[in-house]
Amino acid sequence: MEKPLKDKHKDVLRFINDYIERKGFAPKREEIAEALGISLSAVHYRIHYLFDYGYLIEADVCEWGRSIEMTKKGTLTCQADK
């Protein structure tokens, strides 16, 4: 059985999802750190955790440092929390 996401990971996932819904592209890691009031290294750790568990994937094309895409699992997780 898969372990549930901790709030700190959900916060990052929700922010990325909301940002993509508003702007049509993913935020930079620096934007995530600033918006959530956490360090850049914490953002990197949490994003890689979300990659490892299938909530996010690396985009095939990286433009302007925005290399994050939501997976179906990530999107469904965010929708379930609303």
Q: What is the pTM of this model?
A: 0.89
Looking at the domain covering 7-77, what would its CATH class be?
A: mainly alpha
Q: What's the confidence (pLDDT) of residue 64?
A: 61
Q: Split the chain (82 residues) into runs of 10 and give each run's mean pLDDT.
A: 85 97 92 98 96 91 74 93 72
Please enumerate, as own/partner, the contacts of 75-80 that have beta carbons within 8 Å and a separation of 24 or more: 75/17, 77/5, 77/10, 77/13, 78/13, 78/14, 78/17, 78/18
What's the rounded Cα separation, in Å, for the pair 70 and 74? Answer: 6
Query: Do residues 50 and 13 make contact, with C-beta atoms less than 8 angstroms apart?
Result: yes
Let me know how many helices (H) and strands (E) the chain has, helices first.
Answer: 4, 2
